[in-house]
Chain A
Amino acid sequence: MSDSEIMAISATPINTAALRASLADVRAGAIVTFEGWVRNLNEGRDVEALEYEVYAPLAVTEGERIIAEVQRDIPIIAARAVHRSGALALGDCAVWVGVVSPHRDEAFRACRRIIDEIKVRLPIWKKENYSDGESGWVNCERCAAHAHG
């Protein structure tokens, strides 16, 4: 991942310290970062590990578009985001968002909007492996049930 990428997909662990450092700017009075971690419970089932499938070409362009939209609406200095692909373990960082701005309110609002949009717009799918040996695509099971019913 180069220093200049606004939105990146990473097959290796996210280097949050390097990302944070890359946003250093003397005009900034605030940095807000968000990290999404892999947790052990989802919708009542014990999760042991998970895998992200990412269609990177469009995930990158759509992520860049989200950040451009936020920069148009909220006066921030810069923002970057990285999302993992591949196999992740409990506690791993799945997604990182960082925003710098002169004042904290803009950074909080921009960071929140970027992560919210990433979750609903990027072509990324999460397959969870459960402790009972089953696995499932998150958010897909309802339509799967439809199809088989």
Chain B
Amino acid sequence: MKTINVRYFALFRERAGRDSETVETTADDALALFRQLTDRHGTDDPRGHCKVAINDVMADWDSPVADGDDVLLFPPVAGG
């Protein structure tokens, strides 16, 4: 098991009802972690329209997650 700090933004934060949480997980990558949280927060498959960052660096959904990582989950962006 690893301990990951997950941070939520915009719609994800509203849906989760919190800014962040610490989760215990066996997920190997960002997508697996997201899917594990899908069960908890009712979110959809993120690929294509949502983004993820790990430790303040933009990442891919197949990027590995490690113990102690800060994983930021971004719903579809809408700047401009």
- A contacts, CB < 8 Å to B: 36, 52-53, 55, 57-59, 61-62, 83, 94-95, 115, 118-127, 137-140, 143-144, 146-148
Residues 11-67 of B at the A interface (beta carbon under 8 Å):
11, 15, 42-44, 49-51, 53, 56, 58
Interface residues in chain B, defined as those with a beta carbon under 8 Å from any beta carbon in chain A = 9-11, 15, 42-44, 49-51, 53, 56, 58, 72, 74-80
- Tally of contacts, chain A with chain B, CB under 8 A: 79
A93 vs B58: C-alpha distance when bound (angstroms)? 27
Smallest CB-CB separation from B9: which chain A residue?
A: A55
| Choice from A95, A122, A146, A148 contacting B77 with Cβ under 8 Å | A122
Which A residues touch B50, using CB under 8 A? 143
Residues on the A chain within 8 Å of B58, using CB: 58, 62
Interface residue SS majority, chain B: loop
13 contacts between A and B (CB under 8 A): A58-B56, A58-B72, A95-B79, A95-B80, A120-B77, A124-B79, A125-B9, A125-B11, A125-B75, A125-B78, A143-B11, A143-B44, A147-B42
Assuming the contacts A57-B56, A143-B49, asked whether A124 and B43 have C-beta atoms less than 8 A apart, the reply is: no
Q: Closest Cβ of chain B: how far from A96's Cβ, in Å?
A: 11
When distances are taken between beta carbons in the complex, the residues of chain A under 8 Å from B49 are: 139, 143
* CB-based contact B79/A140 at 8 Å: no
- Given A62-B58, A140-B75, A143-B44, check contact A119 B80 (CB 8 Å): yes
Instruction: List residues of chain A with CB within 8 A of the CB of B80.
Output: 36, 83, 94-95, 115, 118-119, 124
* Nearest 10 pairs of A and B residues by beta carbon: A124-B79, A125-B10, A119-B80, A139-B76, A138-B78, A126-B78, A140-B11, A147-B42, A146-B44, A139-B78
Given contacts A95-B79, A95-B80, A124-B78, contact A140 B10 (CB under 8 A): yes
